[in-house]
Amino acid sequence: MKRVKYFAGAVLFVTLALGKVNAIRGLDAVLPGGEPFRDRQGQENDLLVNGDMEELPFYWEPPNHWIAGNWTRWWMGSVIPEYDDVRDWRPYRYDGDHAQIYFWYWPTAYTAGIYQRVAVQPCTFYQFSMYGRNHSDPGVDHHARIGIDPLGRIVDDPSITYFPPEFVWSPEQTFLHTWGLHTVTAESRSDHVTVITYVSPDRDHPPYDTFWDAGTLVQVTPPDGRIPGPSDWTPDGFITNVISYTSSGQLTIEWDTTEPASTQVWYSVRTPTEPTTPTVTLTHTTYLPLIARWKLPDFYTPADQSGGTHHQVTIQGLEVGQIVDFVILARRLVEYSCLTSPSDFFTVVAQ
């Protein structure tokens, strides 16, 4: 497990007597009250555990904080807000019966939030969404946002001093006295990501109330539908055993990768000005590695982010005699960075 101590502890000068603050535990650790961390949520497609604050009970942390199960509090600086569940005198939640709340009644505002570490597939795009709500004087900017750490690092102390540059953040949005949706998308660069909420209100306008509810983390398609292209179009041998065959206006392409990867085919279709007769009989074991007339493609197949080492796509709607130029891309993790490898360039005549 990659463990990086990027959140340093700080001496806290607060009026609350905290005593010793527990550091974050690993995913196999046990929460106060005996509630274990879990690595997957039962709800289909959503990878968060207790993203809606309804699945697990809130647990206690000193001095008198209540945190939604499987979430962990964090703060920056000397002000630690009070964390709590919904109460009769503070009943706001987006849905269900519970929401994570933290608040502060004095002029010096807090910088704080909650986070969760989640197991994911490397080099895959994920979208973290959560509804937020902010209470204070009219016009006060709470600088509310949510983020994803693509490296999925572990926070060793709830008192943090900075955020690493790899964090990907949503735009700042303050939703005063109403619920609003925060959303951010990032590509994982590890087998875990860390999702986090962040609020840092302008000072001198207390009280400051923050509410979070109905969070989700789901796999999404890459931006513009394409996996990131390679920095070098020279094949490196990662993609092997390419075969293609055409029949009834369809082109089927199969290939292997030397390890699990996200893959996609980029292609162009052109109609020859003169009749084209293939010089080789096209079968399911034949492909034509021709680079002539290649240009960046006009189309792309859906990105396959399911992993695996054997891959297949079918391109439909072709006419007999049309020429398909294509290249295969495969993206995988290399030392906490995502690398895209290209295949050779291929040209096939539709049958």
Kindly state the average pLDDT of the residues 44-71. 95
Residues 318, 320, 326, 329, CA torsion sign: positive
One domain for residues 233 and 216: no
What's the token pair of residue 65? 């904080």
Residues 260, 309: contact at Cβ < 8 Å?
yes
Q: Is residue 51 in some structural domain? A: no
Residues 330, 341: contact at Cβ < 8 Å?
yes
Region of 335 on the Ramachandran plot (φ > 0 left; ψ -120 to 50 alpha; else beta): left
Q: What is the DSSP letter of 167?
A: -
CATH number, domain at 216?
2.60.120.260
How far does the chain reach from its first CA to its final CA, in angstroms?
A: 50
- pLDDT at residue number 86: 94
- pLDDT at residue number 275: 56
Encode pLDDT of 176-187 as tens digits.
999 999 999 999
Kindly state the average pLDDT of the residues 25-40. 32
- pLDDT at residue number 156: 74
Q: Cis (ω within 30 of 0) for the bond into 207?
A: yes
Look at the chain and report how many structural domains it folds into.
2
- pLDDT at residue number 289: 43
| pLDDT higher than 90, residue 281 | no
Last residue of a domain, one of 220, 238, 269: 220
Encode pLDDT of 184-218 as tens digits.
999 999 999 999 999 999 999 899 999 999 999 99
One domain for residues 272 and 338: yes
Q: What distance in Å separates the CA atoms of residue 165 and residue 280, rounded to the nearest whole number?
A: 53
pTM of the model: 0.82
Last residue of a domain, one of 166, 200, 220: 220
One domain for residues 209 and 234: no
Please report which confidence band the pLDDT of residue 294 belongs to, taking 50, 70 and 90 as the band edges.
low
| pLDDT higher than 90, residue 2 | no
Cα Rg of the chain, angstroms:
26
Kindly state the average pLDDT of the residues 268-287. 58
| pLDDT higher than 60, residue 39 | no
| pLDDT higher than 90, residue 292 | no
What's the token pair of residue 187? 């590509």
Q: What distance in Å separates the CA atoms of residue 164 and residue 118, rounded to the nearest whole number?
A: 18
One domain for residues 207 and 87: yes
Tell me which residue has tokens 């569940």.
85
Strand partners, 270: 323
Residues 160, 110: contact at Cβ < 8 Å?
no
One domain for residues 164 and 191: yes
One domain for residues 293 and 193: no
Encode pLDDT of 312-333 as tens digits.
999 999 999 999 999 999 999 9
Q: Is residue 20 in some structural domain? A: no
Last residue of a domain, one of 174, 190, 220: 220
| pLDDT higher than 90, residue 272 | no
One domain for residues 297 and 148: no
Q: What is the DSSP letter of 236?
A: -
- Nearest CA among 45, 51, 2, 5 for reference residue 27: 2
Q: Is residue 332 in some structural domain? A: yes
What's the token pair of residue 214? 């109905």
Looking at this protein, which amino acid is placed at residue 40? R
- DSSP collapsed to 3 states, 265-317: EEEEEECCCCCCCCCCCCCCCECCCCCCCCCCCCEECCCECCCCCEEEEEECC
| pLDDT higher than 60, residue 155 | yes
- pLDDT at residue number 295: 65
Percentage with pLDDT > 70 across the chain:
81
One domain for residues 205 and 258: no
Residues 214, 51: contact at Cβ < 8 Å?
yes
CATH number, domain at 247?
2.60.40
> Which has more pLDDT, 117 or 154?
117
One domain for residues 268 and 191: no
22-31, 126-135, 137-146, 248-257: least confidently modelled range: 22-31
Buried b (16+ CB within 10 A) or exposed e, 323-345: bbbbbbbbbbbeeeebbbbbbeb
One domain for residues 65 and 210: yes
Q: Within the chain, how many helices (H) and strands (E) appear? A: 0, 20
Q: What distance in Å separates the CA atoms of residue 126 and residue 268, rounded to the nearest whole number?
A: 28
Domain range for 93 is: 59-220
Q: Is residue 273 in some structural domain? A: yes
- pLDDT at residue number 277: 52
Q: Is residue 64 in some structural domain? A: yes
